[in-house]
């Protein structure tokens, strides 16, 4: 991805999120110079990977396969004494027909919440002991109601609704065409994106960046 694209995405994301009435913490707007000035006081942000996470999953086509993530709070699986939080919170933005590819998490349990905008479409598969997708019915909780779906069936999560995803459950999601971009919340157990993503395809989790202009913000991989 080009740095200019990432800069523009973050500018637009701040406007989109706050346009839904969600106010953001100060570090979301920090420039590289701000990060330098806040070196001593921002260790928790850096150690727990709070902040912007923009990826195209190596697709070179962000609008078709990509995701905007903003981690607001998180614990740390590797240093629970210093960072004892047992939970994490993110905001995500996905566009119409913009795919987050099939993956599961070995450790993280998460609720994906449609906070506003369009409809989120989700597809689910159970995994077997060899981490292969299974063609078996999937039972999940949607806002406290147990529901069962066919493997890969398209599930619609409308604004205000949420779905709970357990470890080992493959999921793929994207915005419904014609309904608009989707603002998502994610409430989960502690998140570690460096080690806890099992993509069904072999994909990079973080993007390669072409530095075509100066960075206005830093990503979580750049602290």
CATH number (domain holding residue 88): 2.60.120.10
What local confidence, expressed as pLDDT, does residue 219 receive? Answer: 97
Judge contact between 154 and 119, C-beta under 8 A: no
Identify which of 4, 2, 8, 13 has the alpha carbon closest to the alpha carbon of residue 68.
13
In a domain, 206, yes or no: no
What local confidence, expressed as pLDDT, does residue 93 receive? Answer: 98
> Rounded to the nearest 10 degrees, how much is the dihedral formed by the CA atoms of 179, 183, 189, 193?
100
What local confidence, expressed as pLDDT, does residue 90 receive? Answer: 98
Place of tokens 């157990």: 189
Phi, psi torsion values for 35, nearest 5 degrees? -60, -40
In a domain, 209, yes or no: no
In a domain, 136, yes or no: yes
In a domain, 160, yes or no: yes
> What are the residue ranges in the chain where pLDDT is below 70?
none
Q: What is the pTM of this model?
A: 0.95
The token duo for 7 is 């800069």
Place of tokens 């493959």: 170
In a domain, 208, yes or no: no
In a domain, 148, yes or no: yes
Q: Rounded to an integer, what is the distance from CA 62 to the centroid of its chain?
A: 14
> Rounded to the nearest 10 degrees, how much is the dihedral formed by the CA atoms of 11, 16, 17, 19?
120
Range of 93's domain? Answer: 3-199
Segment (H or E) for 35: helix 32-37
Number of domains the chain contains: 1
Q: How far apart are the first and last CA of the chain?
A: 18
Judge contact between 124 and 140, C-beta under 8 A: yes
In a domain, 220, yes or no: no
In a domain, 151, yes or no: yes
């Amino acid at each position: 991805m080009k740095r200019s694209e990432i800069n523009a995405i973050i500018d637009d994301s701040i406007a989109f999120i706050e346009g839904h009435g969600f106010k953001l913490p100060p570090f979301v707007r920090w420039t590289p110079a701000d990060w330098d000035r806040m070196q001593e006081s921002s260790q928790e942000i850096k150690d727990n990977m709070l902040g912007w996470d923009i990826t195209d999953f190596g697709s070179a086509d962000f609008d078709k396969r990509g995701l905007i993530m903003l981690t607001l709070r998180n614990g740390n699986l590797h240093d629970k004494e210093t960072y004892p939080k047992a939970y994490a919170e993110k905001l995500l933005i996905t566009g119409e027909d913009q795919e987050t590819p099939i993956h599961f998490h070995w450790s993280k349990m998460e609720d994906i919440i449609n906070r506003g905008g369009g409809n989120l479409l989700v597809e689910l598969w159970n995994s077997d002991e060899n981490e292969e997708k299974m063609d078996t019915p999937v039972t999940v909780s949607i806002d406290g109601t147990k529901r069962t779906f066919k493997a890969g069936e398209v599930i619609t999560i409308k604004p205000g609704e949420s779905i709970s995803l357990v470890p080992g459950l493959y999921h793929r999601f994207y915005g419904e065409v014609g309904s608009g971009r989707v603002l998502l919340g994610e409430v989960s157990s502690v998140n570690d994106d460096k080690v806890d993503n099992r993509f069904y395809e072999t994909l990079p989790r973080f993007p390669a960046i072409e530095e075509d202009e100066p960075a206005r913000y830093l990503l979580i991989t750049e602290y």
